[in-house]
Amino acid sequence: MNGVESFVEKCQDLLELEREEEIKQSTEALKGQSIKCLAERGLCLTRLRFQYTYTGLYGRTILVFEGESLSRAQTFGPGDIAAIYQQAHSIDEQISLAHGLIFRLTANTIHITIEDNDDEQFNSLGDTCLFMIIKMANDVTYRRLKHGLTLMVKQRQGVAHNLLDIAFDNGDPSALNLSHNTGPSQWFNESLDQSQREAVGFALASRDISIIHGPPGTGKTTTIVEYILQEALKRDAKILCCASSNIAVDNLVERLGRKKQLKLIRLGHPARLLESIQRFSLESIVLENYQDVKNAIRDDLNQCFNKLRKSSTDRSERECLKREIKSLRKDIRLYEEKASREAMKTANVILCTLTSATDDGPLKLLPLNHFDLVVIDECSQALEVACWLALLRAPKCVLAGDHLQLPPTILSEKASKDGLAITLMQRLTEQFGDKITRMLTIQYRMNEAIMNWSSNEFYQGKLIADKSVKSHLLKDLSNISKRDSQYEMDDENLAQCPLFLIDTTGYDMPEISCDDENSRGNEGEVALVNIHVQELIENYGVSIDQIGVITPYNMQVQLLRHKLLSKYPTLEIKSVDGFQGREKEVIIISMVRSNLRGEVGFLSDSRRINVAITRARRHLCIICNVQTVTHDPFIKRLINYMLENAQVRSAFELIDDNNFFPGTISSKKSSTSCKTKQTKQQSKQPKQQTNQRSEATNTLENVLTNILDQRITAFLNDPRVQQLQFEDGLSPFGRHYVHELAEKHNLQHISEGVGDQRHITISKKTSIATSKTKKIIENRTEEEEEEETDVNQQFRSFSLLEEEKKVSNQKIDKNRKLSKTISDSDSVSQENDETKVESPILDPVNLCRYCHKEIPPQNIQLHEIYCQRVNPLSSVTISTNETSGAESSSTLNVAPVRPKNVKKKENKLASMNADASIDDLLEVARQQDNICNAQRCKVKITLLGQLCSYCNRRYCFEHSMPEVHGCGHQARKDIRQTHISTHSNLKPVYENSSINKEKRPYLERKLQDKINSKEGQRKKK
């Protein structure tokens, strides 16, 4: 068995697997589905009425239907295969009336071309019947590919025998024609670069097979057009030009059609052609040459159809009309075939898809040896067997494409693994290399920083960025706006950043999936894409049509569209396959995968990632969980390149931890710079400033919690007051703490207002008012009421301090400086002279609240107890120095605040005489320190006890945890700060994410589909 026969036998089996998988998926989509369900999914048009028929090219019968459901025909389009049924509730037991191609769609009508001319049944049914049209799977391609395999064996010694020898029987390519190796003397396109000219010259000199390898952005189509013009106009060659898709063929037609001397014809169904190239279609050319004859015959046909539709026509007359219609159609077919044959013989170039280059189409009118060469564009995206449908028609071929980009789409995983995914271009390139291949090396799309990774990873570093695109950035576009006079100097400006990486490692952004699908989604990355798009559009002026969003998973495509299209309706969000051959100024890639197992799925498909990366011209943003995706070696190399050359941000910097809706990216000034070295040099100083801020902030929050504790305690002890409203201006931390206390004491709590006007109201439940409270009212003293008034005054004073802290923090953020000092000033300073020297930072724990002396930390508790005993009327003073040089401070006079857990010890000291010696005081303090400091706990801790690092008090093991004895808020703050500062080294924690507004619509649609499916399976009683 020779190589060709072996290949044919193997491909027949693989095509059978592929066809079975296609049928399986199509059957599962329709099986058990009600017509209502199919209509909602866009697969069925219902309640249509037949209008009339007319005759198209080659005598094809075109049926016209009308109906209201056509307004919902979003998934139907010209060229789709459709089956026509009578209206029913299900198609399980229905037999289709006809199959055909959708020729045209209007707002109210659908035109369907049928091949069998069996339109009599539609005329007989007339207006008395309703019809439905269902979108079907295509079996035409499968039949043509099977026929092509048969032809490969039959035409083994045909015009393409030399190509078959080279491809399958270890034949060597013929030597180059040296007279043409240097290229033509005159170029149609003088702007071709050196590599493009070398490729054209090489293809002209080749005698059998040549390959033009065109990496992304290198002008492959431009090179192919130049080669075709040289062959067709200089050598008068007859060329068959093909591609795997209609879009690729139409692109070539548009480029070649600009040359008026060139005679070209586009084969294919008119319904599948772009409107701009309709004039080059075979149908248009035939109509132009034989318009008068065809119009006369078609008028006769239409008259016959009108007579048939009349119910008064008797049977014998109807039979006569049918015979006449058949004869007229035969005449039309003969005239059209003659016109088509003459038009194609005189054409320089005939263009069609690979699966149209068969004997069951117009090419059957030409002899097998008519063409001198075959050109296949995007060869790397076509099945090899499809390429041979065209290659069998000529002794020479030129293949163009990039086998390092997307392969052909194959449904059967087994067929793909067994070799169906290996393309002809890939196989020949690996077998012969530079003997038959020339690669284009100058690219005209990407910024050099975007190009370099792809060049080094896939193309041996041979790609060179043209000077026109080498350093182009978003700032070079005319619609990009300059901001705050820092446009040329701000290193973090996105308009000057070609590479941008957002790392979600350490943030709770797990991937999600549905049980009945293999697709994946990631709601956290959806939020990040939304942030980046909003930043580019609103803050930089980038147009929506200049941005593309790519993700490898269809579920993520749906989540992104649901989130973004309501605000940006024209934003393109597609899978990698949808962007093949496309480009955008900005490309944002969401990689989705985020799991502890390090599974990346088909992200490991290097060709898919290569396509996604190389769609960007000026700005590329990748959003991923670095820890997950770097488990794959290929992805790891990409991420390493981004870490070295990109501007890197963490999700912690961009997303609010509570609601996934942060501010703009540009406001973050603590981000990593574009270079790793700069990041390491700048990382130390911001960390010190963060620690300084934390210490000062903790001091203020400690005082606030004590004030709130006293105020709520006084509210609980006063049965005459049923409601307490806290003033506006309370910080988010204060509001959160009030909510916690309200829950702890079983109080009702409501937060109202927006922004700075937000306030909290707490109230007692009705069960609190009992007879016991009346006694408490009678026993209240004027001194206690005055103490409550003092607490309220303290709270109001603290609110002023909170406002002052907000203002100062904004200025500190702007200058990256923070300085807080405890002093004994008497007024709140509002001076913030940023040009002065910072004041030294003092530890607030070391300053006594009563005598304002600096005391060692280990003695501060005992010293404050003593000061309070000697001078009980002294006040607590808190000062903050924010700017420097001349002293500027803010003070707050607060009445002495006793911690709850030292109440007993303070009472013992208070009962001592005022003239008690210091030794007596020390003895009492020592005894109290041997007992757990938790309220109502009398466990001795002389030998076994634990010191709390937040309040510096000792507790028994039962009360040693900060959350138990009252330091929980400080512990949580400390853990949060540590988590943020070290997030890049933490392993992410994943939990089952709740169903939120992002995932809910997707799941609702899936649920509705299942409900409709079950409804369709019910049997009527």
Q: Give 14-49 as a DSSP string.
A: HHHHHHHHHHHHHHHHHTT--HHHHHHTTSEEEEEE
From CA 468, how far away is CA 470, in angstroms rounded? 6
What's the rounded Cα separation, in Å, for the pair 105 and 111? 6
Q: What is the pLDDT of residues 128-175, one digit of tens each?
A: 688 888 887 767 888 899 999 999 999 888 999 999 999 997 788 888
Residue spans of alpha helices (H) in 683-770: 684-717, 732-744
Residue extents of the structural domains in the chain: 32-138, 156-263+348-440, 278-343, 450-673, 688-897
pLDDT score of 1005: 79
Under CATH, which architecture does the 156-263+348-440 domain have?
Answer: 3-Layer(aba) Sandwich (3.40)
Which residues of the chain are modeled with pLDDT < 50?
484-491, 657-697, 699, 767-845, 873-907, 984-993
Q: For tokens 């295969």, what's the residue?
A: 81
Distance CA(54)–CA(73), nearest Å, equals: 23
Closest among 785, 789, 736, 730 to 758, alpha carbons compared: 730
Instruction: State the pLDDT at residue 782.
Output: 43
Give 393's DSSP letter: T
Q: CB neighbours (10 Å) of residue 927? A: 12
d(CA 573, CA 588): 9
3-state class (DSSP) for residue 112: strand
Give the tokens for residue 317.
């007359």
Helices (H), 522-632: 523-534, 540, 554-564, 606-613, 626-629
Domains 156-263+348-440 and 450-673 share a fold: yes
For residues 451 and 874, give the distance between their C-alpha atoms in angstroms, rounded to a whole number. 71
Residues for the chain: how many in total? 1021
Res 903: pLDDT = 43
Q: What is the DSSP string of 504-524?
A: -TTSS---EE-TT---EE-HH
Name the superfamily (CATH) of residues 450-673. P-loop containing nucleotide triphosphate hydrolases (3.40.50.300)
Q: How many CA atoms lie within 13 A of 142 on its CB side?
A: 16
Angle, nearest 10°, between helix axes 554-564 and 1000-1017?
A: 120
Query: Which residues face 768 on adjacent strands?
Result: none
CA distance 826 to 879: 9
Question: 628: how many CB neighbours lie within 10 A of its CB?
Answer: 25
Please report where in the chains the tokens 């009962």 appear, as a residue: 911
Phi and psi for 613 in degrees, rounded to 5? -65, -40
According to DSSP, residue 616 is labeled: E
The closest of 653, 614, 622, 654 to 639, measured between CA atoms, is: 622
Measured N-to-C along each axis, helices 903-910 and 918-929 cross at an angle, to the nearest 10 degrees, of 160
**Three-class SS string for 398-434?**
EEEECCCCCCCCCCCHHHHHHHHCCCHHHHHHHHHHH
Structural contact between residues 676 and 643, judged by C-beta atoms closer than 8 angstroms: yes
DSSP state of 882: -
3 state SS of 536: helix
State both tokens at 747.
């109080």
CA dihedral 835, 839, 845, 849 (to 10 degrees): -100
3-state helix, strand, coil in the chain (%, to 5): 50, 15, 35
- The angle formed by the CA atoms of residues 817, 818 and 821, to the nearest 5 degrees, is 145
User: What pLDDT, on the 0 to 100 scale, is given for residue 881?
Assistant: 38
What is the C-alpha to C-alpha distance for residues 648 and 503, in angstroms, rounded to an integer?
7
- Tokens coding 287: 């109509």
Burial of 984 (0-12, 13-18, 19+ CB in 10 A): middle
pLDDT for res 882: 37
**The pLDDT value given to residue 81:** 80
Calpha distance 379→210 (Å, rounded): 12
- CATH entry 2.60.40.10 includes domain 32-138: no
Tell me, rounded to whole angstroms, the distance of Cα 927 from its chain centroid.
65
What b-and-e string marks burial along 246-272, b requiring 16 or more CB atoms within 10 Å of the CB? bebbbbbbebbeebeeebbbbbbbbbb
Determine how many CB atoms are found less than 10 A away from the CB of residue 825. 16
Per DSSP, the residues of 162-180 read HHHHHHHS-PPPPPP-GGG
